[in-house]
Structures are given as structure tokens and as C-alpha cells.
Amino acid sequence: MTDNVVTLTGASVVQNKPNETCVRALRELLERAEAGDVVGIACAVLHGDATASYRVCGSVGGYSLVGANECVRAHLVTLNMED
């Protein structure tokens, strides 16, 4: 029944249940980290209660990760403006 609940702008409401797309992406990142392909991360996390947190760990020096996070920030802003 709660699958059809939306905000006043029509966006989906965050629900405290597994999101298969998120789980799949995290599993892929874990596999790549275990293979040595991913050696550092900086990520923002949206929790099931609509709060957010972030995590920075591993090898995160240099500006390429900063640039990638700027791309993510711009993408998130665009997605939120579309809602």
C-alpha cells in the first residue's frame, strides 16, 4: 500500500526497506574493492528514515576524487530540481 505514496511534488517517499538497485551497486563496489580496483571511496548515504550521512575512507588523496564528487553533487542537484 505504501508503494504508491508520493510527496506533494510527486517524488517517491523514502522507505525503510532494501532497495535492490542500491544493494546491487554496493555488491559491485565491494567486489571491485576486493579485487583491488577500488582503493578509496567518498560517498553520501540516504538512510531509510530520510536522514543522510557520508563516509570517506581508503586512499582518497588527489583531486580526481574531488572532481568526481563535484559531478555527483551536480547530478544530485539536477535530479532534485526535476522532482
pLDDT for the residue numbered 3: 61
* Coarse DSSP helix, strand, coil percentages of the chain, rounded to the nearest 5 percent: 45, 20, 35
Q: pLDDT by residue (tens digit) across 10-28?
A: 666 778 899 999 999 999 9
Cα 68 to Cα 18, 32, 42, 60, 81, distances in angstroms? 26, 18, 9, 11, 20
- Dist CA 13 CA 20 (whole Å): 16
pLDDT for the residue numbered 64: 95
